[in-house]
Amino acid sequence: MRKSIIFLLSIIYFCTPIIHKAYANEVSTFNIQSEAAILVDSETGAVLYEKNADQRMYPASLTKIATAIYAIENGDLDDLVTVSEDATTTGGTSVFLEEGEQVPLKKLIQGMLINSGNDAATAIAEHLDGSMEKYEKHLNQYLLKKVKVNDTHFTNPHGLFEQNHYTTAGDLAKITNYALKNEMFRKTFGTKELEWKGKSWDTTLITHHLMLKGEIPYDSVTGGKTGYVPESKFTLATTAKQDGMELTAIVLRGTTDKEVYNDTEKLLDYGFDQFKHSYISHSDVFESENKTFTTGLNDVMVTIPKTPVQKTLTPDGQLQFTNDQGELIQSVILVEKQKKQSHPKSVVQNENKTMGYYGKYATLILILAALMISVRKFKKRKRVKAT
């Protein structure tokens, strides 16, 4: 997150170089059973709760969130993908692809996210990069440079266990929130059912996410992805929206299916009950030590507790929000308003004017001098002729 702040501060302030940084506190009012979890505002990136969010974990099929957005941004959704034998023999859940079958890339992404098809994930990776080795290299470069995650390394597109295939709850939240900015991803991530007509499988795909499809009622859920392999145990990614605020919950390494859903409900309830959106107007001016700060040209949305908060401006332009216990909840990097610089244009202009003023007289003097020389030469020639 600090790297993101440094990067954004380097952008000219007229483009609103601003980032939100939130500091999550462990919440004593409820207990998260899963080994790692994080709750993040999907839009502002504010971290509202975290537990072992920076600890490396095996993500299982939550890997497919990264595969999906990588494919959407780097492939042509209308491409026909020819399914290989390797894809058809990928273990785990599938959409029952057949070798040689040609499937649009968009349809494979849908089958991968909705039905968690490992065969579809393999077909996508092979189509995009030609081999798993190249896919691994390019995907991780993409996640590092484009999505800005620093503690993730994926060795395959589906999440089946490999020793060097890992991420963190914090990184998965960043990947999910990045992907949610893409409309095709968002729509697929929130799809409950989809008609599937394959070469060997005609069916209706139904999301595996119990909250999304309504088996565990939670009306505000907007999207989700499940995951499980024995090494990772149960993993769950969920988005939900209430009153214009959307939250992303990532839960990793739950011991049971029920546990990750219970933890997710607790996280979402906490976020919606305790936090709200607020805005800092672009016209607001903040002063500290004879410096003036603003948000730039745009209003800025922040996520703050519903309980009273205090705002403090540091000398370097961080607007900090603290709760009634004095705990730092979120900070916003403001932009110093530059004072107008006086330029020595008037001096240059005066010099030019002075040169112009004297230049006119200098030209006249030169003309008169030339005339005098001509007259003298003429008189001298007349005297010579007279002698």
Looking at 116, 174, 266, 331, which residue is catalytic?
Answer: 116
Q: Examine the pLDDT at 12 and tell me if it is beyond 90.
A: no
152-182 pLDDT tens trace = 999 999 999 999 999 999 999 999 999 999 9
Q: Examine the pLDDT at 20 and tell me if it is beyond 70.
A: no
Give the integer Cα–Cα distance in Å for 377 and 186.
95
Q: Examine the pLDDT at 18 and tell me if it is beyond 50.
A: no
Q: Examine the pLDDT at 21 and tell me if it is beyond 60.
A: no
Give the bridge partners for 224, in sequence order: 238
What is the overall mean pLDDT for the chain? Answer: 86
Three-state SS annotation for the chain: CHHHHHHHHCCCHHHCCCCEEECCCCCCCCCCCCCEEEEEECCCCCEEEEECCCCCECCHHHHHHHHHHHHHHHCCCCCEEECCHHHHCCCCCCCCCCCCCEEEHHHHHHHHHHCCCHHHHHHHHHHHHCCHHHHHHHHHHHHHHHHCCCCCECCCCCCCCCCCCEECHHHHHHHHHHHHCCHHHHHHHCCCEEEEECCCCEEEEECCCCCCCCCCCCCCEEEEEEEEECCCEEEEEEEEEECCEEEEEEEEEECCHHHHHHHHHHHHHHHHHHEEEEEECCCCCEEECCEEEECCCCCEEEEEECCCCEEEECCCCEEEEECCCCCEEEEEECEECCCCCCCCHHHHHHHHHHHHHHHHHHHHHHHHHHHHHHHHHHHHHHHHHHC
Between 375 and 126, the more confident residue is 126
How confident is the model over 354-375, as a mean pLDDT?
57
Is residue 64 flagged as an active site residue?
A: yes
Confidence of residue 321 (pLDDT cuts 50, 70, 90): confident
Query: Is 385 annotated as ligand-binding?
Result: no
Q: Examine the pLDDT at 384 and tell me if it is beyond 90.
A: no
Looking at 34, 42, 61, 331, which residue is catalytic?
Answer: 61
Confidence of residue 378 (pLDDT cuts 50, 70, 90): low
87-144 pLDDT tens trace = 999 999 999 999 999 999 999 999 999 999 999 999 999 999 999 999 999 999 999 9
Predicted local distance difference test score (pLDDT) of residue 346: 39
How confident is the model over 299-305, as a mean pLDDT?
89
